[in-house]
Amino acid sequence: MKAHPTTRPTTRPATLRRRRVLAAIGGTAVAMTMAPFGTTLAQPAITPGTPIRVLIGVPAGGTQDVLTRAIAQEVRDSLGPLVVDNRSGAAGRIAVEAVKTAAPDGRTVLLGTAGMMTMFPSAYKNLSYDPIKDFQPIVNAARFELALVVHKDVPANTLPEFIAWARKQPGGVSFASYGAGTPSHFLGEMLNRSAGLSMVHVPYRGSTPARQDVMGGTVPAYFDTVGGALQMLPSGRVKVLATSGDKRSPLMPNVPTFVEGGQNNVIATAWFAYYAPLKTPKPVVDQLRAEFMRAVNSREVRQQLLQNGMYPVGDGPEALLKTMREDTARWAGIMKAVNFQAND
């Protein structure tokens, strides 16, 4: 009688299953070993803790403070506190240079203005930073228009009346700006060129002292933001004669534009945008951008901006860089036309 060969039970599927499980466990162990101690998957790049400093190049009390404090309320739970750090002086360049050299960890950002980031490259021969090459754009948060504000004793209630009065003044008329090489300054230069005036520029270190002096009559005229003009009107010490948009500001619907006043080439808007130091890691910049954009688009922030003469924007880096390049070329042409060179 032949013996039948012993049939061995196959174990290959079970073995393969065990190997797959062990491989998965091993892969997880390797990943855990490679990950920094104490980190977890999908951990935010920035966690609430150390405050984030937002450097602003003008003294406290202006619209830039309003914007950043409004955003701070919206992001405090996700990013922690945003602290306004006013670094006035040198028309805002002190703040820009401080952020350029700050640690690229997301804890120091700049609130850049159209002046700092698009005018200064043409205004200053030896600018110590390149707005496009030295920073990471986060978000273009808000835009605004400007307005011609005059002291109440100026004998003019319209732009044409102001121009006629300014032409007759012996020695000319002075006008204030919130900084040399800023939109405030160049709106005055644009009006000089358009209307054939010879107004003398008086630069201030920010909007607050300029507002104080135009309300006090130290200077007869000042080119401020629409929001700043709105803040001064209740005092009864100033008049607003024109705004700089291509159409009337919804915040001042009764005030004509410069174009309506016969100055067809006097149109200017400006903006506030946030930037990080160049080497800030992409995940950090992306998180800041997402939170800032969420805040700008929130109902509460939008209301506060509109109440202070600003319009929410929320543009990302590509759109912001496009705006920067276009504005840089436009302002460079204006500076060349008036032969302007800022003094360092």
Q: What is the mean pLDDT of the chain?
A: 87
- Tokens (6 digits) for 43: 């951990």
Q: Would you list the DSSP string of 119-171?
A: IHHHH-TT-S--TTTSEEEEEEEEEEEEEEEEETTSS-SSHHHHHHHHHHSTT
Q: What are φ and ψ of residue 221, in 5° steps?
A: -140, 150
- Tokens (6 digits) for 174: 């002075």
When pLDDT is averaged across residues 57-83 and rounded to a whole number, the result is 92
When pLDDT is averaged across residues 52-69 and rounded to a whole number, the result is 91
When pLDDT is averaged across residues 125-130 and rounded to a whole number, the result is 93
Please list, in sequence order, all residues whose beta carbon lies within 8 angstroms of the beta carbon of residue 277, skipping any fewer than 6 positions away: 99, 100, 101, 102, 103, 104, 108, 135, 136
When pLDDT is averaged across residues 142-160 and rounded to a whole number, the result is 97
User: Between these two residues, 33 and 301, which has the higher pLDDT value?
Assistant: 301
Task: Give the pLDDT confidence score for residue 42 in this predicted structure.
Answer: 47
Specify the amino acid at residue 344: D
Q: How confident is residue 44, by pLDDT bands cut at 50, 70 and 90? A: low
CA distance 2 to 60: 104
Task: Give the pLDDT confidence score for residue 43 in this predicted structure.
Answer: 54
Task: Give the pLDDT confidence score for residue 89 in this predicted structure.
Answer: 83
Q: How confident is residue 17, by pLDDT bands cut at 50, 70 and 90? A: very low
- The pLDDT tens digits of the residues spanning 214-246 come to 999 999 999 999 988 999 999 999 999 999 998
Q: How confident is residue 344, by pLDDT bands cut at 50, 70 and 90? A: low
User: What DSSP state is assigned to residue 260?
Assistant: T
